[in-house]
Amino acid sequence: MKITLKDGVVKEFDNAVSVYDIARSISEGLARNACAGIVNGETKDLRFIVENDAEVNICTFDDEVGKEAFRHTASHVMAQAIKRLYPETKLAIGPSIADGFYYDFDREKPFSPEELEEIEKEMKKIAKEDLALERFELPRAEAIKLMEDRQEPYKVELINDLPEDAVISFYEQGEFIDLCAGPHLLSTKVIKAIKLTSVAGAYWRGNEKNKMLSRIYGTAYTKTSDLEAYLTMMEEAKKRDHRKLGKELKLFALLEEGPGFPFFLPKGMVLKNTLLEYWREIHKEAGYVEVSTPIILSKELWETSGHWDHYKDNMYTTVIDEHDFCVKPMNCPGGMLVYKQDMHSYRDLPMRVGEIGLVHRHEKSGALHGLMRVRCFNQDDAHIFMTEEQITSEISGVISLIDSVYKLFGFKYHIELSTRPEDSMGSDEAWELATNGLRDALEENNIPYTVNEGDGAFYGPKIDFHLEDSIGRTWQCGTIQLDMQMPERFELEYTAANGSKKRPIMIHRVCFGSIERFIGILIEHYAGQFPTWLSPVQVKVLPISEKFADYANKVSDELDKAGIRVETDHRAEKIGYKIREARNERIPYIIVVGEKDEAANKVSLRSRANGEEGQIDLKDVIERIQQEIKTRVSNVNTGVSVE
RNA sequence: GCUGCUAUGGCUCAGUAGGUAGAGCGUCGCCUUGGUAAGGCGGAGGUCACGGGUUCAAAUCCCGUUAGCAGCUCCA
């Protein structure tokens, strides 16, 4: 029997072997670290017996599949601990997730933090007991009986809902048995570096009509040091939470008077306008023009676009002179009307029309979250009208534009292609053409991507950009959508070379997505330490005492004239105190002026990056800062934030 | 929207068993005029989110509303 390994090496075996044995034949170390295997493309247990020639890939914690098996086993260990401590608890489901695992339980009281600690202790005990996990399968009737005997009604329901031909498997460790497809580790022994992180409510099977269960979240790693690094990262994330920093740095405010409608304060407004300035600059270079369409438009328009049918529950409406109007949740219908203001020739295409559009969407109260999820926000939208032949090159152009934006901020990113959802409009042919257009552009540019089946917009497929911030979290921001439905519904036309009327194809696209949300992401990405070009205040001038107020004013006037955003702290405080405060405000440059500086006609510079830099000519400081602003240097601080 | 938790001066938070409020920071005033992460003293500032109820008495107990937090669901 021939087993082909992931690096192409072929191993010969006389008899059927388990995945674990294959791992051991490679090395003891691999066997020790193995969590699961992939046999002919299917995820399998280490216990799985390979009987014929096969391709086998051994997965450790470093592989997604291995990590899932590891954490799934951790969730079983947690369930076992809970059944030991609180036997009346009913088990629901417990999978692994991105950063760890959870398990849902049905219990009278929610779990308290003290109980979490008890559970954690019991889990560590179970690990020490080194219980072997055994897999077994049962026919449906016996499976149901087993779970009925163990008084697990949720498991009985799950089994009843399994398809006729499903294999019903269980995993057993010590006295604990759980319905589970696997895979799982061989023993509880390695589940040591664990932490239960939180308790929350969650509906049985995710349906809000069902009973609310208690969900315990936890995480597990192979090494204590990795667990600690993760917990430190979580702490760091909490420290740079944009809601906290937004308040501290006086960027924006969220008030009870406007739930989900953020107020931008003067400093936040500088940030926003600076981003928009940049946006306008690069779009002008890329051949875009800019328009602005109204916030309130007639209901009929939204019926034409299809938005009313699909999203009326999330749209704000109003009545003007007895006519129904809607507050726009998207800019595209307005963009359609702009296109129709004129006749278009094929020579005019592609037409790239940008719009910073303020949209409103009625989000459920529980969905609101700082600037990340709001009820009104600005989209950095653009609609590109083009011919079929132009699809690939236009998509490529947008991809490279978005790429340059993310690079500027130091974001890594990956791309997902989302295909036709169930609830959608348009013909199969149109969808195929559009989906292929996106795919071709990605492939022509050699851009790796994953496919997200059925996650497209109702009017077309899309490419989504998921960017990764400085502490490893991902955010979906940019998107490129190809749309053949809106031009049809709005009867857009252009005159082709032969004089016939043709339908243009359109792209909807955003780089930032929501500007508000992008600002939220930037706050967390930079931990409030914005690069100089973005900093609301770029220099703070601190006179040593009131005697040097005039000199400080002179210095700050020169900075101001040089186009640098400057503030001067004239309070009668000690210099150490003023520095401390300016640092907490994350200001990139601090200028200290006192007797020595005035005498030498220089300034003492302190930069956020290098600390104290000594006495220096103001002219040199200005040049350096101007250069940083001009080139938009964006050095990301991944270290621990101030305070 | 659902479940749970929370709401006290501008900010961060104390307030134990119901007896009409405290601290630190900030702010203001005075002293200090100080060279790289908090100088000292003093003052002002709160109908304890809002509306009901229980009680001789409610920041504290109960009900409702609003907003926030965590999670679920949703996110064109």
Closest C-alpha to A46, from A58, A55, A54? A58
Q: Is the shortest CB-to-strand distance from A234 to strand B under 7 Å?
A: no
Task: Judge contact between A20 and A45, C-beta under 8 A.
Answer: no
CA to C1' distance (Å), from A260 to B75: 14
Task: Judge contact between A376 and A261, C-beta under 8 A.
Answer: yes
- What's the residue count for chain A? 643
Give the H or E element holding residue A25.
helix A19-26
Task: Judge contact between A470 and A526, C-beta under 8 A.
Answer: yes
Structure tokens of A561?
Answer: 């004239």
Angular region, A72: left φ>0, alpha ψ -120 to 50, beta rest: alpha
Closest C-alpha to A465, from A533, A404, A522? A404
Provide the pLDDT for residue A638: 52
Give the side-chain half-sphere CA count within 13 A for A79: 30
| Mean pLDDT (10-residue bins), chain A, 643 residues | 80 83 83 84 84 84 86 91 87 87 83 79 88 87 88 87 85 89 85 84 77 86 88 86 95 93 96 97 98 97 93 94 96 96 96 97 94 96 96 94 95 93 86 91 92 87 91 89 92 96 96 96 95 97 94 96 96 94 96 96 95 96 97 70 47
Rounded distance between C-alpha atoms, residue A224 and residue A466, angstroms: 29
The dihedral through the CA atoms of A361, A366, A368, A372 has a sign that is: negative
Rounded distance between C-alpha atoms, residue A118 and residue A81, angstroms: 9
Structure tokens of A129?
Answer: 């007991």
- The one catalytic residue in A67, A307, A383, A578 is A383
DSSP, collapsed to helix, strand or coil, labels residue A528 as: coil
Residue type, A42: E
Structure tokens of A453?
Answer: 């089946």
Give the β-pairing of A100-106 and A96-97.
antiparallel
> How is chain A split among helix, strand and coil, in percent rounded to 5?
40, 30, 30
pLDDT digits (tens, 9 = 90+) for A261-309: 999 999 999 999 999 999 999 999 999 999 999 999 999 999 999 999 9
Provide the pLDDT for residue A334: 96
Bridge partners, residue A327, by sequence: A296
The counts of H helices and E strands in chain A are 20, 35
- The one catalytic residue in A328, A373, A508, A586 is A508
Rounded distance between C-alpha atoms, residue A315 and residue A327, angstroms: 7
Rounded distance between C-alpha atoms, residue A112 and residue A108, angstroms: 12
Provide the pLDDT for residue A204: 83
DSSP, collapsed to helix, strand or coil, labels residue A617 as: coil
Bridge partners, residue A86, by sequence: none
Rounded distance between C-alpha atoms, residue A499 and residue A494, angstroms: 9
ipTM: 0.94
Specify the nucleotide whose C1' lies closest to residue A596 (CA): B35
- The one catalytic residue in A59, A332, A477, A511 is A332
Instruction: Strand B: list positions under 7 Å from protein Cβ.
Output: 1-4, 11-12, 27, 31-39, 66-76
Specify the nucleotide whose C1' lies closest to residue A307 (CA): B76
Angular region, A516: left φ>0, alpha ψ -120 to 50, beta rest: alpha
Compute CA distances A68 → A95, A219, A232, whole Å: 8, 11, 22
Rounded distance between C-alpha atoms, residue A526 and residue A608, angstroms: 13
CA to C1' distance (Å), from A54 to B55: 79
Rounded distance between C-alpha atoms, residue A466 and residue A269, angstroms: 26
In chain A, positions 36-65 with C-beta closer than 7 Å to nucleic chain B are none
- Show the 3-state SS of A71-87: HHHHHHHHHHHHHHHCC
- Interacting residues of A424 by C-beta distance below 8 A, sequence separation 6+: A431, A456, A457, A458, A459
Q: Which residue shows structure tokens 């929350």?
A: A200
Rounded distance between C-alpha atoms, residue A626 and residue A609, angstroms: 16
DSSP, collapsed to helix, strand or coil, labels residue A605 as: strand
Specify the nucleotide whose C1' lies closest to residue A598 (CA): B35
Rounded distance between C-alpha atoms, residue A443 and residue A431, angstroms: 18
Residue type, A255: L
- Show the 3-state SS of A374-409: CCEEEEEEEEEEECHHHHHHHHHHHHHHHHHHHHHC
User: How many other C-beta atoms can be found within 10 angstroms of the C-beta atom of residue A390?
Assistant: 19
Closest C-alpha to A179, from A206, A210, A158, A209? A158
Closest C-alpha to A338, from A326, A352, A325? A352
In chain A, positions 6-35 with C-beta closer than 7 Å to nucleic chain B are none
Bridge partners, residue A177, by sequence: A172
The dihedral through the CA atoms of A227, A229, A231, A234 has a sign that is: negative
Q: Is the shortest CB-to-strand distance from A593 to strand B under 7 Å?
A: yes
pLDDT digits (tens, 9 = 90+) for A130-183: 888 888 888 888 888 888 888 888 888 888 888 888 888 899 888 998 998 878
